[in-house]
Amino acid sequence: MGSLHIIENQEPKESGEDEEYGLFNALMESLELYKNGRMPYEEILESFPELIEIQGILKSFPKLIEIQEIKERREDKANCLLNILMESLELYKNGKMTYKEILESFPELIEIQKILESNIENQKPEERREDKAKDFRSSLNPNNYDQKTKLPTKGKHYALGDIHGYKEPYNIALRQIKREDSLVLIGDVVDRGPDGVEILQDLIKRKANTPESNITFILGNHEIMMFEALNYILKLNLSNETIGNINDYFNYNARQERIYKLYREEGHGDIELAETLSKQCEIIKEKIKKTMSNDNINIDKMIETIGIWCNYKNGGIKTLQTFMKLNIDEQKDIFNFLRTSYVMKQQEVQGRKILFVHSRPPKDINIVKNLSQNNNYGVRANDLPPDEFYRMIWDRTDDTYFPCKALGMETVCGHEYEDNTTVVNKKEGYIRLDEGCGHGDAFSVGLYCIEDNTVMHIGQDDEIFRANCTGKIKIIDEKGKESIIESTKIPTEVTR
């Protein structure tokens, strides 16, 4: 509920202010329904009659009147009141007013808190913003997309591995494809680098995943981490300070757990440091709890979800900082795009059946069979059981490639990287294009052309990469024997 982006200059909440702060979250949620045309203002006024009584006070607030730019208002006084309320809360969301200032000028708002909260409780579920953090799958609407969208059949077919927030390899890949060609991004376009949000916005602009576009985007685990963490951050309107505390807690807790594990397994470790970290975690957790206005939130799950994404290893903090600078409509566009993106896609190219997925094919081979038998060319998250969904974007075992190979399919994927190396595993039946982009300027990503059977190695910083490194292809034959070739061409016998 509340603001859809963090207010960088928002003052930290002090103890005892939760009640007033909760009022503004409720106000902003109810008015969001009005703005989106999901609740007429007449209904709001019928439920909140006290709003009429504070109209004069709202109008008399000089700072609000000075800043707001109202080009036109409807003459209806009730509608005028709601416009003023919405504008005052927009100022609050944009950091131009603090909630303290509003409360000091509009003390009567406190009087209607119970009515506002009662109204929110009584709204129908389909008319409300999410009350609790839901996982990615449960937020999907199967009516939002056409599941039978095929990749273009003309031109050449390309696949690009994990680019992790760096637009240079993305732009180079786009320059390689012609209008009649198609490009599949294998996921993990966000985090670590600074450009992930910009890349998502460009995919939206290019209408990726629609029949009008030659670009398809496959969800990666980093997009899922982003979605689920932001679901908490936006719903709870978490401040920068709280997010920082969550990140600190997650890192301290992980470190003390590693120390205790080392002590248990090997008999040594700095137990004193671990105890200090544990106590610090308790202090930080209490600070986090004091900022929560919703008692139903699972604090431990929230900390884990946000902490995993934002920590230095996964690099979500860079994506978060950029995302929070977007306006509400831009944020919603990204959420909707992720909701309707594919988890797995298939295409037949020159007699080769190609399966595109971020990490692994599903364990249930019938899911793959149905793609071909039902002429269904892609699956999304809510087409899958939860265990299969997370296996396909997270898993790091090789036990699901071979059954697809037995069906005559080759899997093109990413997720696990080898330094500047595309892996072609003939034994298991996959081509893996993650070459480490996002882990340093000298790392690269693979751009695979199916028709030409070639891999172009594109650097995270392409100039630095080409000056210092050489892209490689690792071949694993049917017997499991490995060989390295410094070439862009995959031997034909390897992929046939």
- Mean of pLDDT values over 427-436: 94
Q: What are phi and psi of 451, to 5 degrees?
A: -65, -45
What is the distance between the alpha carbons of residues 271 and 410, in angstroms, rounded to a whole number? 49
Tell me what pLDDT residue 152 has. 58
Q: Which residues pair with 418 in a beta bridge?
A: 421
**b/e per residue 376-401 (b: at least 16 CB within 10 A):** ebbbbbebbeeebbbbbbebeeeebb
Beta strand 215-217 with 352-357 is: unpaired
Q: What is the DSSP string of 83-125?
A: HHHHHHHHHHHTTSS-HHHHHHH-THHHHTHHHHHHHHHHS-G
- Mean of pLDDT values over 393-415: 90
Q: Which two tokens stand for residue 294?
A: 């919703």
What is the Rg, in whole angstroms, of the alpha carbon atoms belonging to the chain? 26
- Mean of pLDDT values over 220-245: 91
pTM: 0.69
What is the distance between the alpha carbons of residues 413 and 182, in angstroms, rounded to a whole number? 16
Nearest to 2 by CA among 131, 136, 100, 140: 131
Tell me what pLDDT residue 170 has. 96
* CATH fold group of domain 142-221+336-495: Purple Acid Phosphatase; chain A, domain 2 (3.60.21)
Type of residue numbered 307:
G
Element (H, E) at 77: helix 77-93
What is the distance between the alpha carbons of residues 295 and 125, in angstroms, rounded to a whole number? 19
- pLDDT tens by residue, 315-324: 999 999 999 9
Tell me what pLDDT residue 39 has. 59
Tell me what pLDDT residue 58 has. 45
Element (H, E) at 241: helix 240-266
- pLDDT tens by residue, 321-373: 999 999 989 999 999 999 889 999 988 888 899 999 999 999 999 998 887 66
